[in-house]
Each structure stands twice: as C-alpha cells, then as structure tokens.
C-alpha cells in the first residue's frame, strides 16, 4: 500500500472534488494514511470553485461528473487559474476531457488503485518541490504538452 | 443499282400513303414568304388539334410556346438556312394550349432550281418524357428515402454509442464505489483475518477494474488484449512491493481474447500471483514471480512460476479460497490446470482453449 513517503515537507494540501460520498471518504482516508491533508470535499462545481478560492490547495483531484452534471471541466479551468494549485482529473469518463485538459496536468482513470493515487501524489510532490524531472508514475496519464 | 429503274408509283398513291400515315407529317413551301405550311396529314392535325385550314399558309412556329427551347428553334432555323436536314425534339403546343414533345426530322426537298419544300416527319414523344420525369421523381424519392433512413440510422448509432459510454462510465464508477466500500470497511476493522479478507477482496476487485478499464479503451468492444492487461497489472502489483526483495515479471504475448474472458482471466492471473506472493516467500524470503502467456494452436498457455518454498512446504489451507477460485475460473473457461513443485518453487501450468480470434 502506497509508498507513504509524504514527509512533513512533502505533505500536500489536497482538495477532493467528487460527488460519490464513499469514494470521497475513502480517498480522504487514503490521503491521511499517506500523510497528506484533505482541505475539503466538494460534490458540485459551485462548492468546488468556492473551496478552491478559500483554501488555495496544492492539489485538486477533480472528477468530471459532479452532482450538477459534467461540470468538472469548468472546475478544473477555474482552479487551475490559481498558479498555486495543480489540477488532476480523476474520472471514469476520460473521453470527456477536452484537448487542452482544461488546465489539468493529467488524469487518473477510474477505477484506480490506491497505489496509483499514492505514486501520483509522490510524483506531484516531487514536481512541486522542483526535485528534478520525476518520471510519470504508471496509471497516471499526463496531459499532452 | 443505278441500272434499276425507279418504281413506277403514281404520285397520287404516294400522297395517299402519306395522308393515311399514322406519323404526323407536314410539308412547307420553301419559296413562299416565311416558309408556310403547304400540306399536313390527318395525324398531324390530330396531334396538334388544328384543322387543315388553320395551319395551311402559316409558319410552324405557331406550335411553339413559352417553354419551347429557344436554342432548339435556333438550330432548326440555321439548318433551314443552309438547306440541311435536321433532327430535333421540341416542346410544342396544341391548339388547346397543352404542351407535347414533338420529335421531328426536317428534310429539304429540292428541284432543279433549289429547295422547293421542307418535309417534316414527326413523332409525339410526350410519353417518353413523362416516363423520364417519373423515373427522375422515383429516383429522387428513393434518394430522399435512403437519406432519411441513413440519417435515422446514424442518429440511432449515435444514441447507442452514447448509451455505451454512459453504461461504461457507470460500471467503472460502481467498481470504484465497491472498492472504496471494501477499503473503508477494512480500515475500520482491527488487524487480523477479517481485515486481510477485506483487503484481498478489494485487490480482486482492483484486478477486475484493471480489466474493465482496458475493455473499451481501444474502440474495439469485442476483444481484450491480455498483453496490455499484464503490463498494467504488473505495474500495479509491483508498486506495492519492495523491488529489492520481491519482484513480479511478465512475458505475455499480445493475445486478443473475447471480451467475455477479460474478467475470468484477470481474476485468474491476480489470484495465482497474489497466492504466490502470500505463500511462497515466508519470513521475508526474497523471490520472484513470473507470468508468461503464449498463443498455442488451440488457445493459450499460461504459466505462473515462483522460486519460493514450493507446494510441499506450504501447509495445506483447508479454507483454500484462492486455489478454489482459480480452479473454478479455469473450469469456467473449459481449461485445464496443473500445479507442480518446480524445485525451487511452484509452477502452475494452465491451458485455455480460445475460439479462433485474430
């Protein structure tokens, strides 16, 4: 289970944008286990964008289908406006992602394994800390450059 | 031929024959001003609806009307000017104003002083044109029908594709929910057998999820590429292992199997690999598990091998759910399975028949 290498300085503040309560809760547990901090869970686009503004998270994990429809795309666009936030899609509907990825840097396809989430967060932490050019983990699909 | 004499037909006989002919005929006087009609037969009068007195002395253009093709008229005029025969089809009008298609051959008739008459034999072609129109209408109607049908079919296909995506999305989402449920419950369960069981279940669901994720990704809904599955499965399993101690390797050909076999094959490969990891390497023993699959003449041959302690060293587990599951799935795929000590380790050989897929 996960490399859990999120030492204090590598701990990421994560916003979870997910309408499925069970998935969100499990993701929150996993993030906690990996040493990351969940700053909020949002199930619809308005909530997600507002939480993004108020918390300025390091990472936003964004599902495309939310309570108010396929609005995850808009959410990604809005959240990625803030340079402090790295957006990653987490969706079973990767076909809906636009060509420019709406500002997101990649996608984790559902159904995902916890290992993929863990290694993707390690990868993001390394990237943000400017620790060289970390290799993309398996199961994480980067946006086309 | 020139020796043959002209048949001695009295002119009256010829005139009589022309007059009785069912083909409309008309003769114009080339020397009178404006080339007027000099003679017409009954068939001509019948087709045009005029009486003889109404046409004699008048130019044939009296039959033309608003929809008559001007260029065809011009061709007639030009041919007459140079005294050459011409065949042409013209829209003419009867006395009552109804149009008809008049196909005619106009031939100049000369005497020693030049063109004396023009002789025109005609045929009413209206029915041919009607037939053409009908055909055009029918063809147009057919084309419209085909277009409408094609439109309806592509709309239906689009709907089905959208539906497939929707269902695919829901299945994936549900797999995620099921896996989350299992893991949430595992987290709330004290360490021990129950927790392990929940985590093992979540892993099996994970293997099914990997298979499902690959199912419709290539646009080919009917087949499943075992090679792709092995690559993803391997990456996922190895991510949880310390590479210095344990490693899983795969040498799996890109075998295309029917989509229906994706889930059982994923379960089978997962179970055997997880089983080897669980039992073959007690006490932090180092080791390697290898997965190999190749196409055979009648199907595929799958080998899962480890270099662990071997079958004999593992105390037989009465619950043995893993092994049970494996044998059940192999039976479902009508395959055969053999477990053997490989000294060192264990080797499992499986043969699965495949329907001929490309």
Return the minimum-mean-pLDDT range out of B3-12, B98-107, B161-170: B3-12
Q: What is the value of pTM for the model shown?
A: 0.68
Query: Are A25 and B173 a contacting pair at CB < 8 A?
Result: no
* Structure-block tokens of residue A62: 């964004």
Confidence of residue B32 (pLDDT cuts 50, 70, 90): very high
Query: Are A113 and B210 a contacting pair at CB < 8 A?
Result: yes
Chain B residues whose CB is inside 8 A of the A65 CB are 169, 173
Nearest chain B residue to A112, by CA: B176
Query: Are A115 and B236 a contacting pair at CB < 8 A?
Result: yes
DSSP string covering B30-88, please?
TTSTT--EEEE-HHHHHHH---HHHHBTS-GGGG--TTS-HHHHHHHHHHHHTT--EEE
Query: Are B209 and A22 a contacting pair at CB < 8 A?
Result: no
Query: Are A109 and B206 a contacting pair at CB < 8 A?
Result: no
Q: How far is CA A131 from the centre of its chain?
A: 20
Nearest chain A residue to B237, by CA: A115
For residue B156, the distance in angstroms to the closest alpha carbon of chain A comes to 20
More reliable by pLDDT, B221 or B231: B231
Largest CA distance in chain B: 132
CA gap A70, B27 in Å, rounded: 83
**What pLDDT digit, counting tens, does each position of B99-153 carry?**
999 999 999 999 888 899 999 999 988 888 889 989 999 999 999 999 999 999 9
pLDDT of residue B358: 46
Burial A102-138, CB ≥16 within 10 A → b, else e: bbbbbbbbbbbbbbbbbbbbbbbbbeeeeeeeeeebb
**What pLDDT digit, counting tens, does each position of B248-259 carry?**
999 999 999 988
pLDDT of residue B78: 92
Residue B264 parent element (H or E): helix B262-279
CA gap A120, A5 in Å, rounded: 12
**What pLDDT digit, counting tens, does each position of B72-92 carry?**
999 999 999 898 999 999 999
pLDDT of residue A115: 86
Give the sign of the dihedral formed by CA B317, CA B318, CA B320, CA B321.
negative
Cα–Cα nearest to B62, from B87, B79, B44, B42: B44
Interface confidence: ipTM more than 0.95:
no
DSSP string covering B163-201, please?
HHHHHHHHHHHHHHHHHHHHHHHHHTS-TTHHHHHHHHH
Q: For the sheet with B114-124, list strands across it.
A: B37-40, B25-29, B114-124, B99-111, B86-93
Q: Which residues of A, range 109-138, sit inside 8 Å of B by Cβ?
A: 109-116, 118-119, 137-138
Q: Which CA distances in Å does B78 have to A52, B60, B75?
A: 87, 15, 5
């Amino acid at each position: 289970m996960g490399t859990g290498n999120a030492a204090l300085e590598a701990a990421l503040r994560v916003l979870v944008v997910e309408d499925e309560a069970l998935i969100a809760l499990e993701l929150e547990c996993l993030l906690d286990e990996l040493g990351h901090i969940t700053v909020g869970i949002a199930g619809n686009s308005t909530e997600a964008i507002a939480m993004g503004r108020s918390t300025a998270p390091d990472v936003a994990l964004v599902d495309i289908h939310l309570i108010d429809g396929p609005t995850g795309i808009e959410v990604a666009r809005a959240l990625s406006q803030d340079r402090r936030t790295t957006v990653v899609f987490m969706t079973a509907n990767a076909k809906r992602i636009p060509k420019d990825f709406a500002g997101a840097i990649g996608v984790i396809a559902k159904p995902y394994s916890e290992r993929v989430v863990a290694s993707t967060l390690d990868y993001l932490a390394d990237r943000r800390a400017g620790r060289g050019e970390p290799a993309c983990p398996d199961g994480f699909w980067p946006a086309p450059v | 031929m020139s020796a043959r004499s002209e048949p001695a037909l009295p002119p009256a006989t010829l005139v009589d024959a022309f007059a009785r002919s069912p083909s409309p005929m008309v003769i114009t006087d080339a020397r009178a001003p404006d080339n007027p009609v000099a003679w017409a037969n009954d068939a001509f009068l019948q087709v045009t609806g005029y009486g003889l007195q109404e046409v004699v002395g008048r130019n044939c253009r009296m039959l033309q009307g608003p929809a008559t093709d001007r260029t065809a008229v011009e061709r007639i005029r030009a041919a007459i000017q140079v005294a050459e025969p011409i065949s042409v089809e013209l829209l003419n009008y009867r006395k009552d104003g109804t149009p008809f298609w008049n196909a005619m051959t106009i031939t100049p008739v000369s005497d020693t002083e030049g063109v004396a008459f023009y002789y025109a034999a005609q045929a009413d072609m209206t029915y041919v044109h009607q037939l053409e129109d009908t055909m055009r209408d029918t063809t147009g109607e057919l084309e419209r029908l085909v277009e409408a049908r094609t439109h309806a079919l592509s709309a239906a296909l689009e709907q089905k594709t959208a539906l497939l995506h929707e269902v695919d999305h829901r299945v994936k989402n549900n797999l995620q929910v099921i896996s989350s449920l299992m893991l949430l419950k595992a987290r709330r369960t004290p360490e021990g057998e129950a927790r392990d069981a929940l985590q093992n279940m979540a892993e099996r669901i994970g293997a099914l999820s990997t298979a499902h994720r690959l199912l419709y990704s290539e646009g080919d809904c009917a087949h499943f590429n075992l090679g792709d599955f092995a690559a993803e499965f391997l990456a996922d399993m190895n991510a949880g292992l310390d590479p210095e101690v344990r490693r899983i390797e795969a040498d799996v050909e890109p075998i295309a199997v029917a989509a229906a076999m994706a889930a059982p094959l994923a379960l089978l490969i997962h179970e055997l690999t997880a089983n080897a990891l669980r039992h073959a390497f007690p006490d932090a023993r180092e080791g390697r598990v290898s997965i190999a699959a190749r196409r055979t003449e009648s199907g595929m041959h799958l080998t899962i091998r480890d270099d662990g302690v071997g079958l004999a060293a593992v105390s037989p587990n009465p619950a043995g759910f893993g092994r049970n599951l494996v044998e059940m799935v192999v039976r479902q795929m009508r395959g055969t399975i053999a477990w053997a000590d490989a000294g060192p380790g264990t080797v499992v050989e499986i043969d699965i028949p495949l329907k001929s897929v490309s």
